[in-house]
A and B are shown apart, each in its own frame.
Chain A
Amino acid sequence: MSQIFHRSTNALSRATIFGAVFFLGVAGYGLMLLNRSGYVTGARVAHEQPVPFSHKHHANELGIDCRYCHSSVEVSASAGIPPTKTCMNCHAQIWADSPTLEPVRSSFKTDQSIPWIKVHDLPDFVYFDHSIHVAKGIGCASCHGQVDQMNLTWQENSLQMEWCLNCHRHPEQFVRPRERVFDMTYRVSAQQQRALGQKLVKEHDIHKEQLSNCSICHR
């Protein structure tokens, strides 16, 4: 009985089989890249805000401390988005007529909140607490990036769980002295951090064995 398929189809079938494996692999890898990209995680994407607030101007050029606006960062889970009143403390006198600040003034007059777009938005089953991170020596910039260099604010990191765990499993790589937490200029070399990290983990009483317990963040 003669063959139904020509010999050359063998190559085709091989190509198909290996091609399928290759295709699935590439597709999978592509999906993985996509899932970690800013498109999905929102990392490094700046959003248009009701008022084009610039951290670069306020924190860097004017030198206002983070805690002037984010006043509950040391005591509460939430760092606190400043109330309109905080803006008006200065802007009642400075740039008091600027059209850019009209939403701020109108918020203050009408008692309606400014509807900011949430830049860092964790899923509802994650319970993050600013106060404990600050107390244990995790700098603002470690998670939020160089906010003092951002005009419109973006989310610096993916905020995905693997990123959280990276520090929860190896806090010694990120911890810094408590007095440098709000310091945007703090820089140490990897070598210095290795020496310093172990010491600080001990000093700050950080219990690594607890940090990757699920209920630390999920409850």
Chain B
Amino acid sequence: MNDHDSLAHERPQKGSVPPAEGNGHEAPYDWESLRAKLSAATGRKYWRSLDELADSEGFRAFLEAEFPREASLLDAVGRRQFLQLMGASLGLAGLSACTKQPLERIYPYVKPPEEVIPGKPLFFATTLPLAGIGRGVLVESHSGRPTKVEGNPDHPASLGATDIYAQADILTLYDPDRSQTPRFAGVIRPWAAFVAAAQASYEQQKAKRGAGLRILSESVTSPSLVAMLEALLREMPEARWHRYQPVNRDAVHAGTRLAFGEVLDPVYRLERAQVVVSIEADLLGPNPTGVRYAREYARTRRVDDGNAKMSRWYAVEAVPSLTGAVADHRLALRPSEIEGFVRALAAALGLPVAPPAGAQKYAAWVQALAKDLKANRGRSLVALGETLSPQAQALAWAINESLGNLGQTVELIEPLEARAEESHLDSLRALVADMQAGRVEVLLVLGANPVYTAPADLAFAQALEKVPLRIHWGLYQDETAQLCHWHVPAAHVLESWGDLRAYDGTVSLIQPLIAPLYEGKTAHELLAAFSDKPSRTAYDMVRDYWKGVWGEAGFEERWRRALHDGVVAGSAAEGKSVRVGPQATQGLAPLAPAQGLELVVRPDPTVYDGRYANNGWLQELPKPLTKLTWDNAAYLAPSTAERLGLHNGDVVEIRVEDRVTRAPVWIQPGQAAETVAVHLGYGRTQAGRVGSNVGFNAYTLCSSRAFWNATGVELRKVGKGYRFACTQDHFSLEGRDIVRKGTLEQYRHDPSLAPHGHGEGEHGELPSMYPPYPYEGYAWAMSIDLNACIGCGACTIACVAENNIAVVGKDQVARGREMHWIRVDRYYEGDWEAPEFVHQPIPCQQCENAPCELVCPVNATVHTAEGLNDMVYNRCVGTKYCSNNCPYKVRRFNFYLYQDWNSESLKALRNPDVTVRSRGVMEKCTYCVQRINEARITAKREGRQIRDGEILTACQQVCPTEAIVFGNMNDPNSRVARLRSLPRKYQLLAELNTRPRTTYLAAVRNPNPELMPGKGHA
């Protein structure tokens, strides 16, 4: 049974998930009866999964087991043996308490660094890249070791919040699988040996003007790095710099070139938009702009304080995205139809474009949308995603111009990345051609992992092997490193000096939080090895670059200011005044009619393009909409699954032209019919202990002609019974009425949005058998606004980082043992072909009449004078009674030693203010009591009350949409007290009289009256 002691960095045993005793996944659904259940008048309004709808006996058994399938672990042990073991354990447990603390050493500083006070963390501003674009952050540092990433309120891409990737970057820093030393042919070599080799190659190439030198990077927005690369190319004019990353802005750039005659990057001003149409543009999703746009989205949708106006969002997409899930109207179309949709919309708005055949399918939708857009000229936006063709992009710009949106809700700026004129795929294609033709003598791969991420048809790996000297620089010894002669470990961004541009062009500096843990080098230092000054440090190079830009006068002050603030003041790009040319609406190629199954390829919502594959936090974070963990899948719409007779866990062979892969099936409500959706980022072979051999590699289905979509896909069932670790049915509240949602119209009529007969007022103050607690000082409370929540999961990851929560692995997640203190439940509403979505984050409700407290035999969970339900780990003996008695299912039990107590580097990761829990202990959300204590002590020392907003819980601080507010409800002027007095406020399971301190605000949607009812339907 030891193999279940899944450590944070142990690879989950793929396929070792034992057969689930009837969690409803075995028998294929009886679609007819499901349909009947859903349409019946008594049918349930909100549902979490098709299994829940089917409500089979097996599914019920799964739900009723508090911790499903734990009993199965005891199968091999008979009663006698069990008693023997128990007796022995009891005796030994007593003895183990008789330990004497070993002597510990204490190592003070020799010369204390400036500003460091032992026991007090410091925060430093820096910048983290995602797809090459920067997001400003503040990083918490305890005695020189970074432990937590927070947003930088002064940075435009953050505004104080962060996304899941920024949170998880801290784990990557300490990842024990990171590459640690330079290697030549797999053998450890010193950095000096690499510099010598690089210098020899540099001299050689310089002699022939760099004719054999090629550099392959990802998107580069760093001004200093661009300058270095350009200088190198000036010195060696025949060398070439190629760029490739799978998630890029190729189509957006080609679209702006088509429309405006120049390559530009759009910056949306969503706060000014009343009507937003997101067409495959996951504006709120996991990308470098997601946090900022989510904040703007939420700000236009606040309905309280006398305001009853909201923006209205429409989404058109093949696969449900974060944006689509919270849009007021969502239209699921196949990728081949979406281009037609853009034309139909253009035609309806009066542009000289012929609507395509088949547009009648969504004619009513387009008409209503066009009317809404016309009524909001200059206050609307049509945003297109990267996966649509340049023609469609250009057409969308024409639409935006005709609506007067350019310069209002969208500004166009100079492209963020260098050399954006050439698309990434063209650039990679040119490189492959050069390699194949033997024109490349030295290839320098900067951070990219093209062996894994290049589209299958380019056969990058084969071409690569023709290069005589291949050098790879990266965080891991990944797939590309394996095929290169030299590998140089990259310094993690938290160990580096550098600079980056944010989505709007704002420059911010990268400063190291810690000296490189290993022999990592920055990109600057690697490039310096290919210059006549190979020993320059990144610090000098970045500083000198900015000295050149800003000038000597006042440089020091300006540099320090930029480092301190985390932004270079006034560096945002200015919007350009541009006009759409007539070519945007002319010469549109005829659309191929939609036929056959279509393939939809998207970056993974948690591991992105695969670069985060070895990050256990992200692997275990349930994907926001499917709630799968540790896997990707071939997602099918329910109707397609029904037609093909496929079921969750069936293994299919996906064939696109000559490209084939095998994938397990997952049925996803809301997906466009006749599509197969796959996520990138899985099926890696050299990711590390966490990410290797997890899921399947979707890049093998991609072609360089059409990366994101393909038609004519064949599916063939080749197996069944693949076990997913999906959390959508975990901690189910068994269909009780806990979600509240209504329309703006209903809100104006009845702001409580309570279902009839279930209003808060109905219950009033219920009587209680227990004496009331006097809460005379602070009374901590939390309010969660379901109207703002977009379900991104950042709160879960932030909580993991703040509270030292363990990663348990796929096998344990499948058993319902994930340790997340705050989970985000996703509910479907209505028909499974076009459901509406609601997200509900659930942390501990911190009940005033807490059911958990009453049943603990050892007083390990107790009430405090401020209303918290304290969890005392050192008292807990693991009876799990508290969890059995919790109606909200928020308690988590350490069945095994989930924490990795052995990996040296992970010891530095932990938050020193929170106990690291061991095996056999219950844990749960504490409202970040360590932050409360810190604020209380500071306030008391200063002889004052804690100010409102002084304590931010980790989930609140990270939230891009400000959905979570924490504070003292005894203070009538606090934000949380105000939110608790709103009519939209409700408690979960108020009828139980638990009096939870966590309350919710009902979700409000703003549907277009013209599309009601039958919203979402074509």
Residue numbers of A with Cβ under 8 A of B are 35, 39-40, 42, 47, 72, 75-78, 80-85, 107-108, 111-118, 121, 123-125, 127, 129, 131-132, 135-136, 205, 207, 209-210, 213-216, 218-219
Q: Mark B104-139, 1 if CB is under 8 A from A, else 0.
A: 111111111000011110000000000000000000
Q: Mark B844-883, 1 if CB is under 8 A from A, else 0.
A: 0000000000000000001011101010111000000000
Residue of B nearest to A82 (CB): B108
Q: Tell me, rounded to whole Å, the shortest Cβ–Cβ distance linking B908 to chain A.
A: 15
Q: Does B389 contact A (CB under 8 A)?
A: no
Q: Tell me, rounded to whole Å, the shortest Cβ–Cβ distance linking B664 to chain A.
A: 41
| Complexed CA–CA distance, A108 and B943 (Å) | 40
| Complexed CA–CA distance, A123 and B776 (Å) | 31
Q: In the complex, are the beta carbons of B915 and A80 less than 8 A apart? A: no
Q: In the complex, are the beta carbons of A83 and B112 less than 8 A apart? A: yes
Q: In the complex, are the beta carbons of A132 and B937 less than 8 A apart? A: yes
With beta carbons under 8 angstroms apart, the residue of A76, A112, A136, A215 that contacts B117 is A76
Q: Does B941 contact A (CB under 8 A)?
A: yes
Q: In the complex, are the beta carbons of A83 and B108 less than 8 A apart? A: yes
| Complexed CA–CA distance, A216 and B940 (Å) | 13
With beta carbons under 8 angstroms apart, the residue of A78, A84, A123, A216 that contacts B933 is A216
Q: Tell me, rounded to whole Å, the shortest Cβ–Cβ distance linking B894 to chain A.
A: 14
Residues of A with C-beta under 8 A to B864: 210, 213-215
If the complex has contacts A125-B873, A131-B937, A205-B943, are A114 and B108 also in contact, measured as CB distance less than 8 A?
Answer: yes
Q: Tell me, rounded to whole Å, the shortest Cβ–Cβ distance linking B997 to chain A.
A: 14
Residues of A with C-beta under 8 A to B107: 113-116
| Complexed CA–CA distance, A74 and B934 (Å) | 14
Q: In the complex, are the beta carbons of A113 and B108 less than 8 A apart? A: yes
Q: In the complex, are the beta carbons of A214 and B111 less than 8 A apart? A: no
Q: In the complex, are the beta carbons of B117 and A207 less than 8 A apart? A: no
Q: Mark B581-618, 1 if CB is under 8 A from A, else 0.
A: 00000000000000000000000000000000000000
Q: In the complex, are the beta carbons of B926 and A219 less than 8 A apart? A: yes
Residues of B with C-beta under 8 A to A118: 103-106
Q: In the complex, are the beta carbons of B930 and A72 less than 8 A apart? A: no
If the complex has contacts A124-B915, A210-B866, A218-B915, are A81 and B106 also in contact, measured as CB distance less than 8 A?
Answer: yes
Q: In the complex, are the beta carbons of B110 and A76 less than 8 A apart? A: no
Q: Tell me, rounded to whole Å, the shortest Cβ–Cβ distance linking B939 to chain A.
A: 10
Most buried by B among A40, A76, A77: A77
If the complex has contacts A83-B111, A216-B933, are A210 and B865 also in contact, measured as CB distance less than 8 A?
Answer: yes
| Complexed CA–CA distance, A125 and B864 (Å) | 18
Residues of A with C-beta under 8 A to B874: 123, 125, 218
Q: In the complex, are the beta carbons of A219 and B930 less than 8 A apart? A: yes
Residues of A with C-beta under 8 A to B310: none
| Across the A-B interface, the 5 shortest Cβ-Cβ residue pairs | A78-B119, A113-B107, A213-B864, A76-B119, A77-B119
If the complex has contacts A78-B119, A135-B940, are A127 and B913 also in contact, measured as CB distance less than 8 A?
Answer: yes
Q: Does B87 contact A (CB under 8 A)?
A: no
Residues of B with C-beta under 8 A to A117: 103-106
Q: In the complex, are the beta carbons of A219 and B118 less than 8 A apart? A: no
Q: Tell me, rounded to whole Å, the shortest Cβ–Cβ distance linking A203 to chain B.
A: 11
Q: Does B929 contact A (CB under 8 A)?
A: yes
Q: In the complex, are the beta carbons of B101 and A123 less than 8 A apart? A: yes
Residue of A nearest to B143 (CB): A78
How many residue pairs bridge A and B at CB < 8 Å? 130
Residues of B with C-beta under 8 A to A75: 117, 120, 941
Q: In the complex, are the beta carbons of A113 and B109 less than 8 A apart? A: yes
If the complex has contacts A127-B913, A214-B862, A219-B913, are A207 and B110 also in contact, measured as CB distance less than 8 A?
Answer: no
25 contacts between A and B (CB under 8 A): A47-B103, A72-B119, A76-B118, A77-B119, A81-B108, A83-B108, A84-B110, A85-B109, A111-B111, A113-B108, A115-B106, A115-B107, A117-B103, A117-B105, A118-B105, A124-B915, A124-B916, A214-B864, A214-B870, A214-B872, A215-B868, A215-B929, A216-B933, A218-B874, A219-B913
Most buried by A among B105, B119, B776, B874: B119
Residue numbers of B with Cβ under 8 A of A are 98, 100-101, 103-112, 117-120, 776-777, 862, 864-866, 868, 870, 872-874, 913-916, 926, 929-930, 932-933, 937, 940-941, 943
Q: Tell me, rounded to whole Å, the shortest Cβ–Cβ distance linking A7 to chain B.
A: 37
Q: In the complex, are the beta carbons of B865 and A121 less than 8 A apart? A: no
Q: In the complex, are the beta carbons of B117 and A72 less than 8 A apart? A: yes
If the complex has contacts A42-B101, A80-B118, A118-B103, are A85 and B110 also in contact, measured as CB distance less than 8 A?
Answer: yes
| Complexed CA–CA distance, A136 and B937 (Å) | 10
Residues of A with C-beta under 8 A to B118: 72, 76, 78, 80-81
| Complexed CA–CA distance, A209 and B941 (Å) | 18
7 other A-B residue contacts (CB within 8 Å) besides A108-B110, A131-B937, A215-B933: A75-B117, A81-B108, A84-B110, A111-B110, A216-B933, A218-B915, A219-B914
Residue of A nearest to B931 (CB): A219
Q: In the complex, are the beta carbons of B926 and A115 less than 8 A apart? A: no
With beta carbons under 8 angstroms apart, the residue of B117, B865, B913 that contacts A80 is B117
Q: In the complex, are the beta carbons of B930 and A84 less than 8 A apart? A: no
Q: Tell me, rounded to whole Å, the shortest Cβ–Cβ distance linking B777 to chain A.
A: 6
Q: In the complex, are the beta carbons of B933 and A131 less than 8 A apart? A: no
Residues of B with C-beta under 8 A to A136: 940
Residues of A with C-beta under 8 A to B932: 215
Q: Tell me, rounded to whole Å, the shortest Cβ–Cβ distance linking A106 to chain B.
A: 10
Q: In the complex, are the beta carbons of A116 and B110 less than 8 A apart? A: no
If the complex has contacts A40-B100, A219-B929, are A135 and B941 also in contact, measured as CB distance less than 8 A?
Answer: yes
Residues of A with C-beta under 8 A to B915: 124-125, 218-219
| Complexed CA–CA distance, A148 and B310 (Å) | 68
Q: In the complex, are the beta carbons of B117 and A116 less than 8 A apart? A: no
Q: In the complex, are the beta carbons of B110 and A112 less than 8 A apart? A: yes
| Complexed CA–CA distance, A121 and B105 (Å) | 10
Residues of A with C-beta under 8 A to B914: 219
Q: In the complex, are the beta carbons of A121 and B873 less than 8 A apart? A: no
| Complexed CA–CA distance, A108 and B111 (Å) | 8
| Complexed CA–CA distance, A72 and B941 (Å) | 13
If the complex has contacts A116-B105, A219-B929, are A76 and B120 also in contact, measured as CB distance less than 8 A?
Answer: yes
Residues of B with C-beta under 8 A to A214: 862, 864, 870, 872
Residues of B with C-beta under 8 A to A116: 105-108
Q: In the complex, are the beta carbons of B940 and A219 less than 8 A apart? A: no
Residue of B nearest to A104 (CB): B110
With beta carbons under 8 angstroms apart, the residue of B106, B112, B930 that contacts A127 is B930
Q: Tell me, rounded to whole Å, the shortest Cβ–Cβ distance linking B806 to chain A.
A: 16
| Complexed CA–CA distance, A115 and B107 (Å) | 5
Most buried by A among B868, B926, B941: B941
Q: Tell me, rounded to whole Å, the shortest Cβ–Cβ distance linking A16 to chain B.
A: 23
Q: Tell me, rounded to whole Å, the shortest Cβ–Cβ distance linking A116 to chain B.
A: 5
| Complexed CA–CA distance, A93 and B873 (Å) | 50
Residues of B with C-beta under 8 A to A77: 119-120
Q: In the complex, are the beta carbons of B941 and A132 less than 8 A apart? A: yes
| Complexed CA–CA distance, A183 and B528 (Å) | 60
Residues of B with C-beta under 8 A to A125: 873-874, 915
Most buried by A among B120, B914, B943: B120
Q: In the complex, are the beta carbons of B108 and A84 less than 8 A apart? A: yes
Most buried by B among A107, A114, A205: A114
Residues of B with C-beta under 8 A to A81: 106, 108, 118
Residues of A with C-beta under 8 A to B873: 125, 218
Q: Tell me, rounded to whole Å, the shortest Cβ–Cβ distance linking A26 to chain B.
A: 17
| Complexed CA–CA distance, A40 and B98 (Å) | 9
| Complexed CA–CA distance, A113 and B106 (Å) | 9
Residues of B with C-beta under 8 A to A215: 864, 868, 870, 926, 929, 932-933
| Complexed CA–CA distance, A113 and B109 (Å) | 6
Residue of A nearest to B803 (CB): A219
Q: Tell me, rounded to whole Å, the shortest Cβ–Cβ distance linking A152 to chain B.
A: 14
Residues of B with C-beta under 8 A to A35: 98
Residues of A with C-beta under 8 A to B108: 80-84, 113-114, 116
Residues of B with C-beta under 8 A to A82: 108
Q: Tell me, rounded to whole Å, the shortest Cβ–Cβ distance linking B76 to chain A.
A: 34
Q: Tell me, rounded to whole Å, the shortest Cβ–Cβ distance linking B796 to chain A.
A: 20
Q: Tell me, rounded to whole Å, the shortest Cβ–Cβ distance linking A169 to chain B.
A: 14
Residues of B with C-beta under 8 A to A47: 103
